[in-house]
Amino acid sequence: MTRDIGFLIFPDFQLLDAAGPIAAFEIAGRLVPGAYRLHLLAREAGAVPSSSGVAMTAKAFAEAPPLDTLIVSGGEGTRSPAICEATLAFARATFRSARRTASVCSGTYVLAAAGLLDGRRATTHWQRSKDFQRRYPTVRLEPDKIFVQDGALWSSAGITAGIDMALAMIGADLGEEVARRTAQQLVVYHRRPGGQSQFSALLEMRGGRFDGLLAWARENLALPLSVDQLAERAAMSPRNFARQFAVETGSTPAKAVERLRVEAARALLDNQPLQVEDVALETGFGDQERMRRAFLRAFGQPPQALRRAARASQPNVAAAP
C-alpha cells in the first residue's frame, strides 16, 4: 500500500518545516519500498521561495492526487495562506478525504483559519502561543507540547518538532522499528514524546559563568546539590554564590535545581517504563511526595497525570503492512 503525502508550502515558508518531514518520509520509504509517494504542493505551480531565499518546486493544488496525509508548513509567510480562500478550501477538502491532516509550527494558523481545529487539541511554536490563543480561542491549545494528535488532526511545535511528528506518523504506519531506523538515519532522538516540553530549563537559565555549573548539576541530579555544594563547585562562598547566581540566572539555586530535576523527571516519565518512585530517586527528589509537590508547582498536575496524558497523546502503533 502506497500512501500519498502532501506538503503544503507558500512564499516565505520555513524551509525545515517542509524539508524535515520530507526527509523522514523519504528515508522510511527507502526502508519500506513503495510505502510513500511525496508531493510538494502550493496554490500555484512552480518555484516557491522559502524565508531563507532557497526555493522548492511545487505542484498546484489542482494537480494533487488523493492524499493520505496533508502536512502544512509554517514560517513567516503563514499570514497569506491563512487568509487565502483557495488554500483554506483545499485544506478543508483534503481534510474530508484524507486520513490525516497536520501542521508544523505556525502552519497551525492555516488549519485554524480553515475551521478544522475548532474544539480540538493542538499546538504551535511557543512564541506564537499567546497570539494564536487570542485569534483562535475555540482551539484547545497545548503550548507546551512538541506535537499533538487529536483524531485525524495532528500539529507540531517549531521547526524540528515536525520531524518528531513525522516519526510518530511513520511509527503508526509502518511500525516502531521502521521509525527507529528512520531516526537513526536522520541522526535524531527516537523519538521525543509528544508530551515533552518545548522548553529547556538549562537554556532558559543560561547565566554566563554559571553555565558550566548548571550543566554539571543536570548530569548529577542524584547528588544533594545544596547551596553549599554548588558554591564549593563554583569556588565561591555560599552567600556570595547565592546572590550572584540569582542576579545572573533570575532564579535561586534551589529553584534552579528543582527545575532541572522536574524537566529530567518528566522526560523519564514520558519515555521510560520506570516506576514513579524510581524516577524520583534517579532525579534526586528522594521520595515520590517531594517530586509530586514539585510537579504541582511546575505544571499544576501530579506526575501520574502527566504520564497518562503523554501516553494518550501517542498514536496507536499499527503493524507494518
> CB-based burial of residue 191 (10 Å sphere; 0-12 exposed, 13-18 middle, 19+ buried)?
buried
Is 40 domain-assigned? Answer: yes
| Same domain flag for 13 and 153 | yes
Please state, in angstroms and rounded to a whole number, the distance separating the CA atoms of residues 91 and 111.
7
Q: Which domain, by its residues, includes 78? A: 3-186
| Same domain flag for 177 and 227 | no
| Same domain flag for 173 and 238 | no
Please state, in angstroms and rounded to a whole number, the distance separating the CA atoms of residues 103 and 110.
8
Q: Provide the CATH number for the domain around residue 258.
A: 1.10.10.60
| Per-residue confidence (pLDDT) for residue 13, from 0 to 100 | 97
Are 278 and 265 a contacting pair, CB within 8 Å? no
Q: What is the mean pLDDT of each run of 10 residues along the chain (321 residues)?
A: 97 97 97 98 98 97 97 96 97 98 97 97 89 95 86 91 93 92 83 53 65 89 95 96 90 92 85 85 94 87 80 46 34
| Same domain flag for 140 and 286 | no
| Per-residue confidence (pLDDT) for residue 319, from 0 to 100 | 34
| Per-residue confidence (pLDDT) for residue 248, from 0 to 100 | 87
| Same domain flag for 105 and 144 | yes
Please state, in angstroms and rounded to a whole number, the distance separating the CA atoms of residues 230 and 242.
9
Please state, in angstroms and rounded to a whole number, the distance separating the CA atoms of residues 189 and 183.
7
| Same domain flag for 111 and 179 | yes
- Which residues are known catalytic residues? 105
Is 191 domain-assigned? Answer: no
Q: Provide the CATH number for the domain around residue 41.
A: 3.40.50.880
- When divided into structural domains, the chain yields a total of 2
| Per-residue confidence (pLDDT) for residue 192, from 0 to 100 | 57
Is 302 domain-assigned? Answer: yes
Provide CB contacts within 8 A for 313, sequence distance 6+: 145, 147, 148, 149, 193, 194, 195
| Same domain flag for 218 and 125 | no
Residue 286 backbone phi and psi in degrees, to 5: 90, -45
Are 23 and 15 a contacting pair, CB within 8 Å? no
